[in-house]
A and B are shown apart, each in its own frame.
Chain A
Amino acid sequence: MSSSDDRESILSRVRGALAPLHERAAMPDYTTELAVMRQMMGSRDALVVFAERLALVNGIALTDPVALVARLRENKWLHGYCDPALWPALAPHFGADFKVETTYDRKRVDDYAFGITRAVGAIAETGTIVLNDATTSRRLGALTPWVHIAVVERAKIFSDLPEAVAGLGQDTNVIWVTGPSKTADVEGILIEGVHGPGVQIALVV
């Protein structure tokens, strides 16, 4: 059978299955305020809440590039990739001990200890960074290095999930990243850095 035969057969079976129903369940009327965490935001500053929630999922929020560079140096994460659009502004903070490339070579995936890319926004109540195709210079550059640094504009922090969903926009690939990549598959023990970054940093500017 071809896909179009299967299409007809599935749709006719669906119609047949639903035909005996006298009444179909109606779509409930609700507002997504229902799904907002209670007392999370209050009148607090979105950045404060974002940093606090990000820390709870073992992510790190920084506001000063100097602190970022110090942390990278301290951990000997000296070789990385940076979005070429961000590099001119960041370069003055990095010393000569760093090797930063603005093109990403997928053949040398293990060379990059860190990757710096732009985020399109963030979500305060969950400590989430929002990435999309338009602002991420390379999907791989934001994923394969051990450390991912997302540069987030302070004005683009959503308060909560419903607000962030409303702001998904037209991009075909929107990714919410909440902390470092992790697993608990082996005996329920939390291990960070599975296929993606083991360290997730948000640099809020």
Chain B
Amino acid sequence: MRFQQIDQFAAELKADTRAAVYDGSKKGHEKRTKLLFDEYADPDRLRRIAGEVKQHVVENLDTYLPQVEAKLKANGVIVHWAATAEAANQAVLGIMRARGATKMVKAKTMVSEETELAHFLEKHGIEALETDLGEFIVQIDGDHPSHIVKPIIHKNRREIATSFEENGLGAYNDDPQTITRRARHFLRHKYLEADVGLTGANFVSAESGRLVLVTNEGNSRFCLAATKCHIAMVGIEKIVPRDYDLALFLNLLARSGTAQELTVYTEFISGPKSPTQPDGPEEMHVIFVDNGRTEVLASDCRDILRCIRCGACLNVCPVYRQASGHAYRSVYPGPVGAVLSPLMMGDKFPQKADLPKASSLCGACHEVCPVNIPIPDLLLRLRNRAKEENVPSPGTPPMGAWALLASQPTAWRASLFGGKIINYLPTKLLPIPALRAWEAKRSLPAWRGGEFRKWLKTRKGRANVSPPAPSRAEAKKAD
């Protein structure tokens, strides 16, 4: 039998990687819960309101986008629009060329991961260096981030030390402090040489045009202190209505993402540097990127556009923890990715229609979501869409035999009786390999086929309830 791609990936995952992903995601989640529930009287109300604010923005983007554009222009920002990933990359390249710039330092932005910007610029002879430690390591490794907040959650220190050595960043040393110091030393000179700093934005206030950026390492601050031009790539859904709303979102974002009260650097940027300030960009560009977002907006899953990219749903997801981010074959992994990634494919939806099935629908992602996105509902809608569009599903076990039995009462009764053989069969002889593996660590409940029908026929009143099923081991003992 063929498996779903994501199951196959998880099955082949190295034990080291699985352990790294599992531990990393679990730790983040446990601290988050404590922080929210200790510090707020009603954290769930916080999540609900934040969700309503973002849903309001999403459903009124036709008003908010022109509003934020006008505000940015008034602040002296040059606004660009990019319908596709290609257009976004071309816009960045155009700005670089107009300035005669050849060097860029990049802060972490998921939009630029979508468009593979660094790769694109390097092909056009521009050095585009990732400065977030995790992203830097991913870049020198030619790898991809596997988590939206913790890009190298899948790597251990030994792998990192090896890539540093291979890339001329010092002899092998796997002490995390040494790794960090070496990156600090190497990158600070790169910031100072670069012409352009590129960032994303976590929020954009429609009221003031302020871009809000949150980082811990100080790399985005460095990009905007050392360079002369700031380019921000921003997804069209990043807007919040007022500055007033920022306190609510900032309180939720860091707690949900990294279990911090606030990230170390929270930057509010509304334009080029002030005239009296010697350091920083004299020119600022904002590129609003669609790249599939309007497809999502047109679907019945537009709630996913509320997402503020905290990663809490990845950390809590039992599937993500076992499969790791790369299993999702997308920039956005985990529960949010299972909704967002297939939708952003547009016409090519079938290529990722399997992702919404990579969930037990346990609901943990909905419970932790700082903007209260009903992810399990959205996953179900996408499963339904795949079915309606007749997307073939390689991983579904054949149900033909079962259907035949279930539609023939005589055959069904016979199979109910015949199934009893399983109670007497030694574990080793169980007919299905998965069942054998399962039984090796657990006891299969005893087969009681037909009991329900018997009970239904003979029952007299509500008091006549069948006793709980004995386990298979107990049934064997009783025999």
Contacts and interface: CB of A to CB of B under 8 A. Distances in A.
Interface in A18-50: 18, 21, 24-28, 30, 32, 34-35, 37-38, 40
A181 B82 contact: no
B262 interface: yes
B272 interface: yes
B243 A172 contact: no
A17 interface: yes
B232 interface: no
B71 to A, nearest CB: 13
Nearest to B83: A6
B279 A139 contact: yes
Q: Which of A28, A106, A136 has the most CB of B within 10 A?
A: A28
B274 A181 contact: no
Contacts of B262: 126, 128, 161, 176, 178
A143 B241 contact: no
Contacts of B20: 187
B292 to A, nearest CB: 11
B256 interface: no
Contact of A18 (B247, B248, B297): B297
B448 interface: no
Interface string B286-313: 0010100010011000100000000000
Contact of B251 (A16, A18, A35, A196): A35
Contacts of B258: 184
A160 B150 CA distance: 28
Nearest to A38: B41
A74 B134 CA distance: 33
Contacts of B157: 186-187
B222 interface: yes
B210 interface: yes
Nearest to A173: B269
B156 A187 contact: yes
A1 to B, nearest CB: 6
Q: Which of B132, B261, B288 has the most CB of A within 10 A?
A: B261
Given A14-B62, A106-B192, A196-B222, A191 B176 contact: yes
* Interface residues of B, dominant DSSP: helix
Interface in B55-104: 55-56, 58-62, 65-66, 75, 80-83, 87, 91
B243 A165 contact: yes
Interface string B191-209: 1100000000000000010
A162 interface: yes
B31 to A, nearest CB: 11
Contacts of A143: 218, 221-222, 225
Contacts of B216: 181-184, 194
Contacts of B222: 143-144, 195-196
A173 B156 contact: no
A10 to B, nearest CB: 5
Contacts of A95: none
Q: Which of A35, A171, A174 has the most CB of B within 10 A?
A: A35
Given A172-B270, A182-B216, A133 B276 contact: yes
A205 interface: no
Given A173-B277, A187-B20, A187-B156, A13 B298 contact: yes
Contacts of A164: 247
A126 B261 contact: yes
A139 B236 CA distance: 29
Interface string B216-227: 111101101110
Contacts of A187: 20, 24, 156-157, 176
A67 interface: no
Contacts of B264: 57, 177-182, 196
A3 B91 contact: yes
B133 interface: yes
A112 B469 CA distance: 74
Q: Which of B40, B81, B177, B297 has the most CB of A within 10 A?
A: B81
Contact of A14 (B40, B208, B219, B236): B236
Contact of A168 (B188, B210, B219, B274): B210
B187 A27 contact: no
Contact of A175 (B23, B41, B251, B267): B267
Given A35-B40, A174-B268, A186-B152, 11 more contacts: A10-B236, A14-B62, A17-B298, A18-B60, A18-B61, A35-B251, A143-B221, A162-B247, A168-B208, A176-B266, A185-B132
- What 7 A-B pairs come out closest when comparing CB atoms? A196-B218, A17-B298, A139-B225, A181-B218, A133-B274, A139-B279, A185-B134
13 contacts: A6-B81, A10-B81, A17-B298, A18-B62, A34-B45, A125-B261, A165-B246, A173-B274, A177-B264, A182-B217, A187-B20, A194-B219, A196-B222
